[in-house]
Amino acid sequence: MAIETPVDRILDQAVWVRLALMVVLVGYVAIIWVSHFIPLSVYLVGPMVLTGWLSLLGLFLLARLRRIDTRPSAQPPMRVMLRPWALTAMFGALAAVALFLAIGWDVPSFCHGPVPVNCVKYYQWSIDNGRYYRTISDGPQAEISQQTYIQEVGFDLRSGSVFGVLALCAGFIGAAVLRPVSARAAGSL
């Protein structure tokens, strides 16, 4: 049995969750953009990969706690799940910009292939006293320029963030399960 809420609300819980996901996506775009120009920490890759997936997990747990039927047979058609259209279009455009900036812009010269994701060759980077270093697994440490560090670490960070952006996209569509039962059935909002 699902919890029913009034249909005449202007913003239901699904829209609030989608707005929160959009704020997280704006954060992704900002970090992706800055990674082209500023040397960021290597340790930012993990959070960029995991944040989107943790949002998706949180959405699933919220639906389970509210005892919402998440079976595919209980969901409306995809066109109803994507409403409101303006918010979906804005989120889609922002996600497309994030994905382009992550894998299509400022690709290092050693990356080849149609989608150059994770082409960094097992480098480990470090910064010590304003100098930048790269180590190849159990090899000697070599000093590199700041621009090389920005390009390589930034691309590693951006390629990892692709997975977080894709999880946010799945969460955006999945947020429709939080819509009131009567609104899902009527296809409103």
CA contacts within 13 A on the Cβ side of 177:
24
Q: For 3-12, what is each residue's pLDDT tens digit?
A: 444 554 555 7
Instruction: Give me the residues of the chain with pLDDT under 50, please.
Output: 1-5, 8, 184, 188-189
Question: Residue 66 in contact with residue 3, Cβ under 8 Å?
Answer: yes
- The token pair that represents 186 in the structure block: 């009527």
Of 75, 82, 7, 20, the C-alpha closest to 51 is 20
- The token pair that represents 80 in the structure block: 């109803």
- The token pair that represents 107 in the structure block: 């690709």
Omega cis (within 30) before 84: yes
Q: For 127-172, what is each residue's pLDDT tens digit?
A: 888 888 888 777 788 888 888 888 888 888 888 888 899 999 988 8
